[in-house]
Amino acid sequence: MAGMRTVNSKDTKLPPAEIIVMVLQQIGSKDVSPKKALAMVVREAASEKSDTAQFGNTVFLGTRGRDAEATKMLGRAFNVDTGRNYVDNCLKYLEYLRNKGITHYTTMFEGSEVLKVLQLIKKTFRDIDSELYIGKNEAGSYTAYIKLGSDPIPAAFKRGL
């Protein structure tokens, strides 16, 4: 994450609110002030369909679908951890979702750093029954679609893939 301040969770584990504030301050939120963006995130996290989880120095915020869509989730990550830890945090989160009965997870993102992380996760999925698809829209941002299978997600990224 070029130019972004990272905090290695193996050295210092930050509280969720601090991580979210750091991310909002570092990436900005278009025409919304960081204070208003934080209020929006807090409101979203307070929803009964929301689920917030922290692994390392990454906070994941997801919203479950309703009724027939209850096993589907739309979410995003607030990360200030190192790149390698971020991959591992994502894998732990996907296993967390799988154990909660989530079968489909969708996230939208911008930037090549997150794209690289998801490409590494896709390689990790080669040996299991989960699948990951990444689409790019006309504006240059991405959407990742993850179908979680019944095989456990590896707890750590295997180096040297």
Q: Give the pLDDT confidence score for residue 161 in this predicted structure.
A: 45
Q: Which two tokens stand for residue 52?
A: 């917030």
The arithmetic mean of pLDDT across residues 42-71, rounded, is 93
Q: 31-50, pLDDT tens digit by residue? A: 777 778 888 888 888 888 99
- Between 27 and 118, the more confident residue is 118
The CATH homologous superfamily for domain 16-147 is Gcn5-related N-acetyltransferase (GNAT) (3.40.630.30)
Give the integer Cα–Cα distance in Å for 24 and 41.
10
Q: Give the pLDDT confidence score for residue 54 in this predicted structure.
A: 97
Q: Which two tokens stand for residue 141?
A: 């941002």
What are the residues facing 61 on neighbouring strands? 52, 76
Q: Are 36 and 71 in contact (CB under 8 A)?
A: no
Question: Is residue 115 over pLDDT 50?
Answer: yes
